[in-house]
Structures are given as structure tokens and as C-alpha cells.
Amino acid sequence: MGKWSKRNIFRTVWFSIIFVLFIWNWSTFQAQNLPENTFTNSEAISVTETNDQITFKPAKSNNQLEIIFFQGGLTDPKAYGPLCKKLAKKGFTCHLIKMDWRLPQYDYQKTSKLFNIQHGQFVIGGHSQGGKMAAQFVYENPGVFKGLFLMGTSHPRDIDLSSSNIPCLKLYAEYDGLASVEEVMENKKKLPMNTELIMIEGGNHSQFGYLGQLLMDSSPNITLEEQQELSFVSLHEFLVKVNYSLVRHGR
């Protein structure tokens, strides 16, 4: 009886530790410390939410482009709301896609049902696994998208986009514990020929969104706000270049 009691105690302690670790890990995937009014409508920006997406639409814009943003795997899509809203303030309509079960690898193709991608002016991209699936979607639909951006991902790894001339931006972080600089460089040869690579010095994987520090990620040397601003500036400059090219060539 005493042995069974010890075994029961051990099992209880063990499963309690596992449960606590699970809850802690899951909590890091939730949106945290979001700026106030991120999802609030204003005269300049309208924010609409459905089961499939959150759209940030500027009241006035001279830009032809619309952005399709894929969330990271398991992450709360709202963690990317601040970045999308900043882009909307610069005149770019941004569609933040909400993946079923938060898994882009299984739900990314619904984008074809949400948008007329064959006749629109779309730039597509995402963070982590969302970046992977954005690259996959471009690979499956050659010549459709006007640009591709990848944030905090070692992909494309399983596909080769090196023959594509799509404008591409790849943002990677110095202390990314899930997509290291070495992994990014290893797969550099599979990126589109017109790719600009920018390293966020001092940044990590988690701070590409308003998230907790994800398991296996390294600690950053810059603040969340600093990494978000650096990411925004690079992405905005990329979008301006793509939009200018479209206008210039009358597309």
C-alpha cells in the first residue's frame, strides 16, 4: 500500500509539472502587451474582423497593393495586429489571416477563397511557419503575387524559388533561437533572385510579434518595441518599392 502511495504521489507531481509547463508554453503563444486601440476603428483606419481574417483598411490611400499576412504556427494572430495597423496608417490595406487551429500549414490555401488573387495586387508574407506557407503559396501560384516577405523563418527550405523574379524581403534576427542565422544562410540559395536580406540586430524570434518568449528562443538584446519598429521600417520601405514599380510599369 505504501509503494502505491509513493507511486501515486510521483505520478501526481509528474503530471502537475507537465501541466504547468504546458500552460506556461501555451501562454507564450498568446498576444501580449498590445498597444492600446490596436483593433479600434478611427477616422483614418477601419478595422473589421471575421472568422477568417482581421482587415486594417486606410480611409485614404494611393497605393495599389494589399497585404496578406500569415500568422506563425500556434501563435495568436492578434499578436501581429500592431504591425498591420502601422502599415495601414501608411496607406496599405492589410489582411491578417486567422488560420484554423492556428496552423498555417493546414489552412493557408483558404486564401484563394478569400481573395481574387489572380486579378488583385497582393503582396503576401508572414512570420515563422506563416512565412514558410507564404513561400509555399507563391511557389504554387507562380506569377500571381507582386511581392513576398518572410519574417523569422529559415524557409524556403523544402522548395526552390531561386528561378522566381518576384520581389522578396527576408527579415531575420540575430538571436533567433528557432530560425538561426546559420539556417537562414544555409537556405539563402533557394530564395527568389530579387531578395533583400536584412538582419534585425539584437532581435529574436518571438519579438516579430507581440508574444511571450517562445520555448527554445534566445533572449534578445533589444526591446520588443525596437524590434517591431525595425521590422516595420524595413517592410514599409519594401512595400513602397514594390508599389512604385507597379505604378511605373502601369500594372
Q: Which domains does the chain have, with CATH numbers?
A: 31-248 (3.40.50.1820)
* Confidence at residue 248, expressed as pLDDT on a 0 to 100 scale: 79
* Confidence at residue 20, expressed as pLDDT on a 0 to 100 scale: 45
- The reported pTM is 0.91
* Confidence at residue 1, expressed as pLDDT on a 0 to 100 scale: 46
* Confidence at residue 64, expressed as pLDDT on a 0 to 100 scale: 84
The Cα diameter of the chain in Å comes to: 83
pLDDT in tens, the chain (251 residues): 455 566 666 565 555 554 445 555 558 899 999 999 999 999 999 999 999 999 999 998 888 899 999 999 999 999 999 999 999 999 999 999 999 999 999 999 999 999 999 999 999 999 999 999 999 999 999 999 999 999 999 999 999 999 999 999 999 999 999 999 999 999 999 999 999 999 999 999 999 999 999 999 999 999 999 999 999 999 999 999 999 988 877 66
The per-residue DSSP string of 3-40 comes to HHHHHHHHHHHHHHHHHHHHHHHHHHTS--SPPTTTT-
Q: Identify the burial level of 67 via C-beta atoms within 10 angstroms of its C-beta, where 0-12 means exposed, 13-18 middle and 19 or more buried.
A: buried
* Grid cell listed for 188: 539563402
Residue 187 DSSP class:
T
* Confidence at residue 125, expressed as pLDDT on a 0 to 100 scale: 98
For residue 199, the number of C-alpha atoms closer than 13 Å in the C-beta half-sphere is 12
* Confidence at residue 8, expressed as pLDDT on a 0 to 100 scale: 66
